[in-house]
Structure 1
Amino acid sequence: MSTVIEQPVQARLVASAPRMETVPATLRYDCADPFAVRMEFPGQATLEGSDVSWAFGRELLAAGIDKPAGAGDVRVRPYGYGHTVMEFHAIEGVAVVHVPTHDLRLFLQRAHSAVPSGREHLHLDLDRDLTELLRDAR
């Protein structure tokens, strides 16, 4: 059984309107997928009205707290005192949220306690992944 770490956060959605709406989000780390974290948004926070989950590198999140990181669909950078900006790029547009940096650091501390950096490979089930890959190739 895999260890899963979840942490609720309050994300402030940046919109074209001057007011920023606070939306609940959940950070999720699963030791069975040790290189990735997920940020999940409930339907009320999305244009489609359905839950959305973004997966991205744990190290991208860790790097982006201190300096701009990412060049793809997810970008992370520090913002002012005590906040981190996360950008989620999709065909439909870009979602920009501000998250308290303290919450991100706490989440990363818990994730690194479960699986230290450089030890992620020890949590991969390569036999299972290879079996799934070969099963799909038939």
Structure 2
Amino acid sequence: MSTAIDQAVHARLIATAPQSRMIPAALRYDRTDPFAVRVVFPPIASLDGAEAEWSFARDLLEAGLREPSGTGDVHIWPCGPDATMLEFHTADGVAMVQFGTRDLWHFLARSYELVPKGGEMHHLDVDGDLAALLRGA
């Protein structure tokens, strides 16, 4: 069985100048980091020409598909029946990206097939992570 999911999607970068545009993105989930999901934007989608990756709680994604959710750097909320907004905050500003709700639900369902909701603790390598931390100290 695979240990990761990588799902290509298209998203709409919401901008005032020059205008909103469609951009490629990837949704990623890895059962070795079972509580997190990742959204990756390729270099062509960023202002500085570098790949941008955001990691946040899988539970936040699920909650944001139902109602406005999030504090801090990532906020997610439904935007009509077919779209969901993800808002990313950095020291340099805010990026708002609209995804198809169906794509996000499909990705979330696939992640739950890999690691069922509530079963995340069974996929953590606490001993290995602690050993790595102590080696680095």
> What is the TM-score of this pair, normalised by structure 1?
0.96
The corresponding residue for 1:115 is 115
1:1-138 superposed matches below 5 A: 3-17=3-17, 19-137=19-137
Whether the aligned pair in 2 keeps the contact of 1:66 and 1:77 (CA below 8 Å) is: yes
**Count of residues paired in the alignment:** 137
Shift of 1:47: 1.1
- TM-score (ref. length: structure 2): 0.96
1:2/1:30 contact within 8 Å kept: no
1:106-127 deviation line (CA, Å, top 9, x unaligned): 0000000110111000000111
Q: Which runs of 5+ in 1 are unaligned?
A: none
Percent identical across equivalent pairs? 52
1:20, distance to aligned residue in structure 2 (A)? 1.6
DSSP 3-state at the match of 2:17: coil
* Helix, strand or coil at the partner of 2:27: strand
Deviations 1:52-80 (A, max 9, x none): 11000000001000101101101100001
SS of 2:16 mapped into structure 1: coil
1:109–1:10: structure 2 CA closer, same or farther, 3 Å change rule? Answer: same
Please report how far the alpha carbon of residue 18 of structure 1 lies from its aligned counterpart in structure 2 after TM superposition.
7.3
Q: In structure 2, list runs of 5 or more residues that go unmatched.
A: none
